[in-house]
Each structure stands twice: as structure tokens, then as C-alpha cells.
Structure 1
Amino acid sequence: METVTLVLTLLFAVVVSGILARLLPLPIPRPLVQIALGAAVGLVADWRVTLDPEIFFLLFLPPLLFLDGWRIPREDLFKDRSTILELALGLVVFTVLGMGFFINWMIPAMPLAVAFALAAVVSPTDPIAVSAIAQRTPVPKRMMHILEGESLLNDASGLVCLRFAVAAALTGAFSLGEAAINFLWVAIGGIAVGIALTWLVGWAKSIVTRYVGEESGSQILISLLIPFGAYLIAEHLHCSGILATVAAGLTMGFVEARGNALAVTRIRRTAVWDMIQFTANGVIFVLLGEQLPTILADAADTVRLTGHHEPWWLGVYVIAINSGLAALRFAWVWLSFRLTLFRRPEDRERPNWRIIGAMSFAGVRGAITLAGVLTLPLAMVDGSPFPARDLAIFLAMGVIILSLIAASIGLPLMMRSLEMPPEPTGEAEVDAARVAAAEAAIGEIERTQHRLANGKRDPDTYVNVASRLMDLYRDRIDHQIAEPEQKDVHRRDEKIERELRLAALKAEREEISRRVRNRQLGSEAARKLIRELDLFETRLAG
């Protein structure tokens, strides 16, 4: 009963945080409000949630990372793939090495291997926190896509570095060649598992649907099970469950480009996933806050590990680590952009240092950092306590909170009055897709009209209804409207018109999917057009 009450309290705190974030006069991001509410819950109530890192990873990360991978515009991700990979892989290794030596120099009581482990858990940015910050700050689309792509991929590299740092701390040995081979297996194996599982499920789902029809509830449940299946299979094979989940989400976008699902399934599935995203995001940050009282209660003992007696030294260390992370990120972003992003002909106009500064402030840490640092073992091989574990947990928690605060303040300042290079709107692609879809609908209406009217007593009725619908689509082409206007029709013509309209909508959807596969239309724009057609189809069905 106490567990149920705790869960309900956490969910209520998520609801309250959304209300408070909108009511507060200052633009405070929702994650900070949720952390504060979680801390209040931890102080007022006599509850203590023991976070098992494995369960935490399994419950929260797979669905959120899967959804981010599913919804991120794939063409934008591939367009800036070099920059994203440099940030997701190169920056993580650069940060682990730089911050590991820096932390060990600053806190000699923390062994070098443990310092590298702490640097590894604070190196990945958090996609959940990045998205939450971006909701209150207008971030250019291209910059946001780079940040999302980086945060989706750098978790695996950071956690692999953590694994080897912990192994070095426990055994006192480290093999660079073994680490490189293991990293390749972890990365490539995880990606392969995610892609293979999603394609297999999509193939099986299409076969079953073809013979027995589609049930919306089952299709939604399948989409919810895919990320958990990819994560568990990858972890069982000692690969990266996080990369498997991200790869599954990206592959789901390709599978869904076929447009096989029913309109009502897509609409209901979107609502379910939006609710899961909102709830899981909120619970993660409320749980982060709930851990604060426990961590702070041990601050007096933790500070003694550093050789000091005043607790404010812990704050100094947190600020120093955040400053070091920001400096390393600024240097790497500048170098990465100079080597890749600015060398292409379309990007010759180089943005000023404020854009690089905004990218640096956007390196927000979140749930993955906390869950990662909690995986530090409790004891060494000989049974002695793992050195400086409580100190590492405290510093990681401080980095999370301070990075959120810094991004909340720094990003708006960096983006204020900043003139960005013009970004392609994609309106021409959308207009061309609307015209092509309408032309496909006209052709399908004509074919369906001949098929339905064949052998009927009143073929003229089919011809008249089809002509009226084709005129509506031609008017749509001429005036670039989203959908043909609904006209009053006689009751005896309703069934005929409904069949013709459904055939036309199917043809439109297939044309949009074809243009996405041929890279004539972006996935984000296609998702918007498909949703318009789905809503119109559900109105017809109703």
C-alpha cells in the first residue's frame, strides 16, 4: 500500500509541477520545479525511494529514448551526422580524459580511476533535460536537432567509459586494446539489435494484419514493447541497451514510412506516447529531487573525504566541475564546427561565438548521469568500501542541478537578439507534396469509381459523386488548402462518397510515404500531413 501511495504522490507532483511552471513569473524550466517538489516530498514525507540503477534504466530510459529516436527528423540527423558523431563520441572521450585528470588534481582523495568514472557519468548530455530546456527557450531547429542527436548517442559512449573506469578501479588494470574492441561490440551490437528487432516486428505485424486485420490496442501495445525488448536483448548480449533503443526508434520511423497502420491507430498511439513522455519525464526529475535529502544528509561525512571540514567546499567543487565541463565543451564545439559544420558550401557564413556558447550551455546533465553514478559498486574486490563513492554521487547530483540552472539562465541570454542564418522552411516541399497527393487522390477516385459502378443500375450516381470530389481536389490544388472542403450531399450519395473519399485518402497517404522514401519530403513535414489525413479519415469514419 505504501508503494502505491508513493507512486500516486510522484504522479501528483508531476501534475503540480506543470501548473507551477506556467504560473511562476520567471521562466523556470519544469525539471527544476520537479526537482524542488521531489525534494519537498523527500523532506516532508518519511519515504525513501531506493533507486536500483538497473530497474531505473529499464523502466524510464527505453521508452523515452525510443520515442526521441522515432520522432527526430531523420534527414536532419543524417545531414549533420559528422558533427553529431564528433560530439557524441569525440567530446565524451575528450571530457573523460580532461575532467578525470582535473578532478583527481582538485580532489587528491579521489583515486584517478574513480575520478575517471565520475567524469564518465557527467560527460553525456541528457536528451530529456535538453528537450525540457528547449520548451522555454526558442532554439533554432538545426541546433536543436544536433543537440538531440548528440544526447541520443553519447549515453552509450559515456557508460562504456564508466564501465572501464570502474573495472580499472576494482582491478587496478586497464587495456586500451580490449576497451576499443569492447566498445565496438557494445556499439555495433546494440545498433544491430535495435534495427533487427524493429524490422522483424514490423514485418511480422504487416503479415498478421494482412490476414486478420488490425486492432488499434494491440498495435499500440506492440509499439510500447519494442523499446523494452530491444533494451533487454542488447543487455543480455552485453551490448548497449541504450543504443539498441535509439536504433529501434530510428528504425521505427522508417517502418512507419510505409503508412500501413490505420488512421485511428496512429492518432490513439500518438496520444498514448505523449502521455508516457510527459509522465516519465516528470517522474524522473521528481525522483532526482527526492534523492536530495538523503544525499545532503551525508554531506558532513562526505566533505571529510576531501580533507576539508567546511561543507561549502563541496559547492566549490561542483562549480569547478561545471566550469571545467563548460570550458571543454566550448573548445570541442568550436573545433568540431570549424572542422565539419562550417566547411560545407551551404554553411560558409559562420555564426559568432554566441552560437557556440549556446551549444555549450545546452550541455545539460540529467537522469542518465544520476543513474550512472548510482551504478558505482559498494565495495572493492577485497570487501573494502569503494573509495569516494558518496562524494562522487554528491558531485554528480550537484552537476545535474547546476547545469540545469546554468542552461536556464545562459541559453536565453545567448539567444537574445541573436540573428541566426536563415533556415530552409520546407514549405515548397510541403506544397509539392500536397499537390502530388491531390493528383494521386484524383487518379484513385477515377479508378475506384469505375470499379464500384461496374454492373450497378445507377452508374451515373457514381460518376456524379466522383466528379464532384475530383473538382474539390482540383480546387485544393489551385488554392493550396489542406483538405477538400466538405459539401452537403444527399443521403443516398453518402455511402458512395465515403468510399471514394477513403480511397482518395489512402492514395494521398501512399504518395506522401513514397515521397518520404525518395527523400523528396522531410519526415517531420510528412508526419504533419499524415496527421491531417488521419484526422479527416476519423471524421469520415465517425
Structure 2
Amino acid sequence: MIEHFQFYLSLIVAIILLIMLANKIKVAYPVLLVVAGLLISFIPGIPAIHIDPELIFIIFLPPLLYEAAWSISWKELWKWRRIIGSFAFVVVFLTAISVAFVANYFIPGFSLALGFLLGGIVSPPDAVSASAILKFVKIPKRMSSILEGESLLNDASSLIILRFALIAVATGQFIWYEAAFSFSWMVIGGTGVGLLIGWLFMKAHKYLPTDASMDTILTIVAPYAMYIAAEEVHSSGVLAVVSGGLLLSNRRHRFLSASSRLRGINVWESLVFVLNGLVFLLIGLDLPEIVSGLGGVSVSAAIGYGLLITAVLIVVRILSAYGAVIVTLIARNFITVADTRSPGFKAPLIMGWTGMRGVVSLAAALSIPTKLYVGGPDFPQRNLILFITFIVILTTLLLQGLSLPYLIKKINLPSFNDHLPDEESDELIKREMSRFALDHLTDHYGEVLVKSPFLQQLHEKWKIKVDEDTDVKLTPEIKNAYLDVLDKQRMWLIEQNHDNDQRFDEDIIRKHLMKIDLEEERILLMH
């Protein structure tokens, strides 16, 4: 690897330039990176790229999942838990079954077990691709929340299917009660391990004498600890990272200082930026090695199989999206659902069209062993499965990735009015926070307020809701009073969010929490 260090360094520079270009021409960067990697791979003299699946599973997957868990709104995740659960587990399973039967019927040499293996590999949509595409268009909050929540869980369900399928192919049999027990342990064990390790890290942040740099390093170590620990006890590492990440994210204001939160955001944004860029570029660069392993199957036939499986994935997801709506409309007569209104035909179509595949599918395909067992025969159809997976990733990124923004604009989705408009929410939160701060300052710091020009200015600022700084020197007494008010504002915002106040989108709440963190950091740095 050392001899190719300059090449890998140049890839980082290429990623930055390509993402800048993608933002300029308003194309999702995963699309551009995969195509660029594909083109680069044909340049003479380029070093052969071999992607080790353990590299992706261990190095790339835990931090990417962990960052997604920190970014998602727990309130929205819980509100839409039924539809998210159905897409993340039921739809993934139905997709794998559909692919199994189609592959068994149309692809020579594919048994049902091999088809189920392929289905488990290509069934989970990629979260990064969808989020990169959706940033160029505006969709209702409920849809983005469902997509984000689904992407957190569908990787786990697909990798569970992968494990069972590998056992079925290797042994030639499928014992349902053993599979049911194994599935239960992977779900319960993975979730439990993630929560336990997340709790331990939360206590470490809270009680150890850490600073902002140490806290940031601990947040980087946490997902790897969760993933490896869960895999060591043969449960789901993905669910461990997701459950632990959600626990820590939801309680971040209890154990991390404002400084740690602010610095951590900057570090994680840069880390995820590089990891995502590398993964998608490496997918394109890996094509020559995949093609060279096809053996007796012609490239044209393999492409045809890949396009057939892609069509199955798209059709099944769209049908599942409409099926989910029908089930919800029926279920609302018997149970309480998040929304009783019919979304019409537009929203399910968009949900169905957001099924771009990516890094997890490729890593899963690469994880197939070369031999059925040690010293045994070659694993059947391994290279063809790899090639089909690559075609699925490339086709869904290009076809759905490039057309999705146009489709969203053309369809003109309803707003659903789940929350107040952002501008209205922003003004309402500012006004209510100002009123809350005024009451707290007057009730608890009346004497300090009388003798402090700084607090008097703040009092007036909150009264008229304007932004103005002051260069007045603060005494410890005044500084403590102001920091206490900021902390009370922070707690008020968190309570508003946890009380399931559906007026406010959690993203707006988080924006104001960050403003408070920035103000607290500014005050602490003042002499």
C-alpha cells in the first residue's frame, strides 16, 4: 500500500474536485464519483484496486452508520416507526424473495438459495445516495424522515439475510427454527450490545476529566467498539451501532459540553465527507477486477442479468410503497397511526423511486467466500453475483439518481403540513425563548440585573428580539447568570422536542441548540 500512497492521496484530491463539480452542476456526488472511478480504472498504469470487504465493514460502515444515527430525528423516527420498520425489514425480505425466484428462473445455474443470497445483497437502498440527491430538491419532512430511518435499519436486515443464505448455500439445507433463534439473537443481542456500550461511553464522557478533543476521539472510537463487540458475540454489528448511536445522540446534551458538541460536528462532517467519497470512487475503480472474474459468462449476458435484477428491485419497491399505504389506510381503523390522511399516488411513487444501491451491497457481495468451505470447491456463481451487484449499483445510481430530482419537481408533492413552515417556526421559537429567558432572568437575577449594563442590554435585546453583541467586560457573577439563562433556554428547547410538540421540526430545534452552544462558547472565551 505504501508504494501507492501518492495514488491514494491523489484520489482524495480527485474526490474534492468531483464533489465540487457535482455541487456546481447539481448532480448527486455518488453518481459522479462512481462514473469517475469507472473511467479512471481504464487509464493505463493505474494500480489495480482490490477492495477488502473487511475494510468496508470494519473501517467504513460503523462511522457512517453512527453519524447517520446522530443526525436523524428520534422524534420523527418514533412517529413513523411502523412504516420505517416495514420498509427496513418486510420490504427488504420481500425484495430478497422476489430476486431469488427471478434469478432461479432466468439465470442458468442459480438455485433458490443463491438467488436468496443475491437478493439479500442487493435489497438495501443506500442512504448516502438518497440524501445526496435530495439536498437539491425539497420534499416533505415525513418522506425524508422515513428514508433516513429506513436506511439506518435496512442494512442490518439485509446482512442478516446474507448470513442465512450463505449457510443454506454451503450446507444445502435451511432449518427454520435454528434460523428463527439466530435471527432473534442477532436483533436482540445487537441492540443490547449497542445500548450497553453506548451507556458505558456516556458515563465515560460524563465522569472522566475529558476535554473537547478527548470527547471527539471517544465519539470516533464508540462505533467501532459497538460494531466489533456485537460481531464477536455473533449478533448484528449494524444494529449495535445504530442503537448505541441513537442512545448517545438523544442524550448528547446531558454528557457533552457545548465545546465538545461544536468541535465534534466539524470533525465528523470532515470524516464522513472523506469516507463517503472514497467508498463511491472505489466502487467504480473495482470494476476491472470484477469483470476479470466472470469466467465463462459473457459480459453482455452478465449485463442483461444485472439489468433484469435491477428491474425487479425497482418494481418490487414501488409496489411495496403503494402496498404500505394501503395497509396503513386499513390499519388506521384498528390502531392509532401517525397520519390518517391518504398520501395519494404521488408520495409512494417517489418513495419507490428512491431505491439507489451502494456501498453495503458491494461490501456484502465481496464478503462471499471464494470457497464453500476450507479446502472445498469454489463458491458457485460468486463472480457473477459480484458483477450483477455492480450493475445494480451503477444502474440505480444513474437511472434513479439522475431522474429523481426531475421527478420530484414534476410531480409537485403535497406539503402535508406536518410542521409549521421553517420561517414561522424560527420566529416562534425565538419569541418564546426570549419570553422564557426574560422571565427566568427577572425572577432569579433581579439584583444582578439592576447593576449590570450587560444583562440590561440582554434584557432589552430579548425584549425587541434583535441581534447585537456587546464588548462590556463580564464579572464572574454576571457571566454565571448569563450562562445559567442559556442553559435554561437549552433545557426548554429540549423539553419542547421531547414533549412531541409537532409544531416544530427537530432540525429547527437543533439549529437553535447550536446557536446556544455557540453563544456559550463565546461567553466562556471572554475575559
TM over 0.5: same fold? yes
CA distance in 2, matches of 1:510, 1:354: 39
TM-score by length of 1: 0.88
Question: Residues 197-216 of structure 1: matches in 2 within 5 Å?
Answer: 197-208=197-208, 212=209, 214-216=210-212
Contact residue 358 and residue 410 of structure 1 kept, 8 A: no
2:18: which partner in 1? 17
| Mapped partners of 1:137, 1:515: distance in 2 | 28
Alpha-carbon contact 1:357-1:414 (below 8 Å) kept: no
Change (3 A) 1:141 1:388: same
Q: Is the 8 A contact 1:70 1:249 kept in 2?
A: yes
CA distance in 2, matches of 1:347, 1:8: 49
Task: Describe the superposition over 1:190-221 as per-residue Cα deviations: whole angstroms up to 9, x where unpaired.
Answer: 1111122112211232122xxx4x51100111
Written as runs of structure 1 = structure 2, the 5 A alignment for 1:391-430 is 391-417=384-410, 418-426=412-420
Over residues 324-362 of structure 1, what are the superposed CA-to-partner deviations in whole Å (9 max), with x where a residue is unaligned? 111111221111121126865874543343322211110
Query: Does the 8 Å CA contact 1:433/1:515 hold for their aligned counterparts?
Result: no
1:108-147 correspondence runs (5 A): 108-147=108-147
* Structure 2 counterpart of 1:234: 230
Q: Supply the distance in 2 between the matched residues of 1:525 and 1:294 (Cα, whole angstroms).
A: 46
2:63–2:220 CA contact under 8 A, matched in 1: yes
Q: What is the aligned partner in structure 1 of residue 516 from structure 2?
A: 533
Aligned to 1:184: 184
| Aligned-partner SS, 1:232 | helix
Q: Which is further off, 76-85 or 37-46?
A: 37-46
Match of 1:28 in 2: 27
Q: Find the counterpart in structure 1 of residue 217 from structure 2.
A: 221
Q: Distance in 1 between matches of 2:229 and 2:480?
A: 44
Residue 416 of structure 1 aligns to a residue whose secondary structure is helix
Q: Secondary structure at the match of 1:424?
A: coil
How far apart are the structure 2 equivalents of 1:425 and 1:342? 25
- For 1:325, the aligned partner's letter is L
Alignment of 1:55-134 (within 5 A): 55-134=55-134
CA contact (8 A) 2:129 2:401 kept: no
- Pair 1:338-2:326 in alignment: yes
- The equivalent of 1:469 in structure 2 is 458
Q: Distance in 1 between matches of 2:55 and 2:302?
A: 29
Q: Deviations over 1:9-38 (max 9, x none)?
A: 2212211211221344xx432112111222
Is contact 1:39–1:289 with CA below 8 Å preserved after alignment?
yes
Report how many residues are paired: 513
Displacement, 1:270?
0.7
- Alpha-carbon deviation of 1:288? 0.4
Please name the residue that 1:312 is paired with.
300
How far is the alpha carbon of 1:251 from its aligned partner? 0.9
Q: Is the 8 A contact 2:189 2:230 kept in 1?
A: yes
User: Structure 1 405/522 Cα, relative in aligned 2: closer, same or farther at 3 Å?
Assistant: same
Decide which moves more: 321-330 or 139-148: 139-148
- Kindly report the root-mean-square deviation, in angstroms, between the aligned alpha carbons of the 2 structures: 2.5
- Report 1:314-393 matches (<5 A): 314-340=302-328, 344=332, 347-381=339-373, 383-393=376-386
Cα distance in 2, alignment partners of residues 368 and 487 from structure 1:
51
3-state secondary structure, aligned to 1:146: helix
The separation in 2 between residues aligned to 1:206 and 1:429, in whole angstroms, is 32
Q: CA deviation at 1:302?
A: 4.6
Shift of 1:247: 1.0
CA contact (8 A) 1:302 1:391 kept: no
Equivalent residue, structure 2, for 1:162: 162
Moved more, 508-517 or 225-234: 508-517
Q: CA deviation at 1:160?
A: 1.1
| Residue identity in the other structure for 1:142 | R
Larger Rg: 1
Give the residue type in structure 2 aligned to 1:201.
Answer: F
| 1:507-522 matches, cutoff 5 A | 507-520=488-501
Aligned to 1:246: 242
Distance in 1, Cα, partners of 2:383 & 2:281: 21
Alignment CA distance shift 1:522-1:192 (3 Å): farther
By how many angstroms is 1:148 displaced? 1.4
Contact 1:187 1:243 in 2 (8 A): yes
Shift of 1:66: 0.7
Query: What is the CA deviation profile of residues 176-199 of structure 1, one whole-angstrom value per residue up to 9, with x for unaligned ones?
Result: 111111111101111111122112
Question: What letter corresponds to residue 486 of structure 2 in structure 1?
Answer: L
Q: Is the 8 A contact 2:92 2:157 kept in 1?
A: yes
Could you list the runs of 5+ residues in structure 1 that have no partner in the other structure? 304-308, 454-458
Cα distance change of structure 1 residues 139 and 42 upon mapping to structure 2, 3 Å threshold: same
- The residue number in structure 2 matching 1:262 is 257
CA deviation vs aligned residue, 1:425-451 (integer Å, no higher than 9, x gap): 346765554445334433554577468
Gaps in structure 2 of 5+ consecutive residues: none
CA distance in structure 2 between the partners assigned to 1:150 and 1:341 by the alignment:
20
| Percentage of matched positions with identical amino acids | 29
- Structure 1 residues 523, 396: CA separation in 2 closer, same or farther (over 3 Å shift)? same
Aligned to 2:468: 485
What TM-score comes out, normalization by structure 2 length?
0.90
Distance 1:341 1:282 in 2: 40
Cα offsets for 1:216-237 (capped at 9, x unmatched): 1001111111111110110011
Does structure 2 conserve the Cα–Cα contact (< 8 Å) formed by 1:341 and 1:347? no
Does residue 1:294 correspond to 2:298, yes or no? no
Residue 43 of structure 1: SS of its match in structure 2?
Answer: coil
Task: Return 66-75 or 408-417, whichever deviates more.
Answer: 408-417
Query: Aligned to 1:138, what secondary structure does the other structure show?
Result: coil
Is 1:43–2:67 an aligned residue pair? no
Counterparts of 1:321 and 1:231, CA distance in 2: 30
Structure 2 vs 1, CA of residues 111 and 12 (structure 1 numbering), >3 Å: closer, same or farther? same
| CA gap 1:179/1:346 in 2 versus in 1, 3 angstroms | closer
Counterpart contact for 1:125–1:365, Cα < 8 Å = yes
Corresponding residue of 1:456:
none
CA separation in 2, counterparts of 1:469 and 1:416? 44
